[in-house]
Amino acid sequence: MPPRRAVTGRSQEPRQRFAEELRLLRSRRGDSLRQLGEVLGWDSSLFGKMESGQTLGSPEVVQALDQHYGTPGLLLTLWELAAGDPTQFRERYRRYMTLEAEAVSMWHFGVSVLPGMLQTAGYARAVLAAGSARGEELTRQVEARIGRRELLTGHDAPPFRTVLSESVLRTSLEDPAQWRRQLESLAEEADRPNLTLHVLPHSSGPHGLVSTDVMFLRLPEGRTVAYTENAHHGELIEENASVERLQRAYDAVRDLALSPAESLKFIRRMLEAVPCEPST
């Protein structure tokens, strides 16, 4: 399907529109990519990739571009729309992503990996690379996943509760520095007023979600839907009886988990065990 076009002739697809605006602003300014890189202090190849849609760049880069072009907030707004656009996600996730953006509260249980909204870029890249994502597709998927963090940090962010199996925190990354950053980020996120984090220790024994990652979304009209996932399949569950059975299993798991205070202590103990980067 060709990109949608508005009466302005520009794309209505958020990612494409962002790239178009970058090209237009640079053309009007008369900058070359090399000149842009020299002025702003980033490699010129980054701006080339942003203008071709290969990457969105970071919010820091986009804010610098807004300042350079005299467009305060315009590019950052377009970047946020592109980062949060559900069409970047694979087809099977798109309806779930639409509902996730509407949710008034969320509850999560993780068996082996952190929820996307709590992943750092390094962690997300490692997890996605372990699957089928490669090259530009991998970069797009990482950016899309990191963009979801806005759901927990934006205005009126919904309450979010996550219960993490101890296995999640025992499955470290190959790069100790990236793993340290992820644990540090997790400890920081646990202090957010809208986030409640529990760790389910191995000593809790078998439970009803032993092989199931699940996210519950409480929607504005009062109903709850669930999304279950493993490495090869994801399923959106909307039938009330099925959601209720999963919720009862989730409540039982939450009752077995450590308190938020004890869970934070657990994460900090894990962090202390990660080798520090050698000093230079």
Q: What is the pLDDT of residues 15-31, one digit of tens each?
A: 788 889 899 999 998 98
- Residue 211 makes CB contacts below 8 A (sequence gap 6+) with 111, 230
**Which DSSP string do the residues of 249-264 spell out, in sequence order?**
HHHHHHHHSPPHHHHH
> pTM value?
0.67
What are 124's strand-pairing partners? none
CA quadruple 116, 148, 181, 164: dihedral sign? negative
| Calpha distance 187→248 (Å, rounded) | 28
Residue 8 confidence (pLDDT):
57
Residue 9 confidence (pLDDT):
61
Helices 74-83 & 135-147, crossing angle to 10 degrees? 110
Tell me, what amino acid is at 85? D
DSSP 128: H
| Calpha distance 27→164 (Å, rounded) | 49
| Calpha distance 245→49 (Å, rounded) | 46
The parts of the chain modelled with pLDDT lower than 70 are: 1-10, 54, 84-93, 132-133, 231-233, 277-280
The angle subtended at Cα 244 by Cα 241 and Cα 247, nearest 5°, is 155
Any idea of the CA torsion for 44, 49, 51, 54, to the nearest 10 degrees?
-170
